[in-house]
Structure 1
C-alpha cells in the first residue's frame, strides 16, 4: 500500500500550489474536497501547527489572520 500523506501534509501541498495567502475558511474549503472530515477548528489548528513548524508565515490583514508559504520548513529544506 503506498504511503498516504497526512492531512497537514496534504494541506501544505495544496497551499504551496495555490501560492496566495490562505485563510482558515479557504483551508476548510480545500480540506472539504478530501476524504478527511474537517471543520473550521481543525483547519485553524492545522494552519497554526504548520506555522509553528516554519512551513507557513502568519500575518494579519484587515483584521483577519492569513498564512503564506515560507521557503523552508523545520528541516531546513526549501
Structure 2
C-alpha cells in the first residue's frame, strides 16, 4: 500500500524537528524538498492551519514579521 502521508502531516513532522521558531520562508524551503508543489501562500496557509489546530502559535517579531513556535500542547493534548 502506498504511503498516504499528506503534505500537512509531513510538514508538521518536519517542523517538529526544527529547533526554533519557523518562518513561512523556512516552511516553503522544507516543502521544496518534497514531491508536493509548494508556493509561499501554500506554506502560509499550512502554518495558519496548524495555529487553528493548536500545535503552533504565531509570534510577531520586532520587524513585524510573523514566525511560528511550538505550543506546549497540541490538538491531542500531549506535550
Q: TM-score, normalised by structure 2?
A: 0.90
In 2, the alpha carbon distance for the partners of 1:36 and 1:26 equals 15
Q: How many residues align?
A: 78
In 2, the alpha carbon distance for the partners of 1:54 and 1:47 equals 11
| Alignment gaps of 5+ in structure 2 | none
| Regions of 4+ moved over 3 Å | none
| Alignment gaps of 5+ in structure 1 | none
State the structure with bigger RCO (CA 8 A, min sep 6), 1 or 2: 1
Equivalent residue, structure 2, for 1:49: 49
In 2, the alpha carbon distance for the partners of 1:4 and 1:63 equals 37
Segment drifting more, 14-23 vs 46-55: 14-23
Write out per-residue CA displacement over residues 39-76 of structure 1, whole angstroms, 9 at most, x where no aligned residue: 00000000000011001011101211000112321121
Equivalent residue, structure 1, for 2:71: 70
Aligned with 1:18: secondary structure? coil
Q: Return the offset for 1:6.
A: 1.2
The alignment yields a C-alpha RMSD, in angstroms, of: 1.2
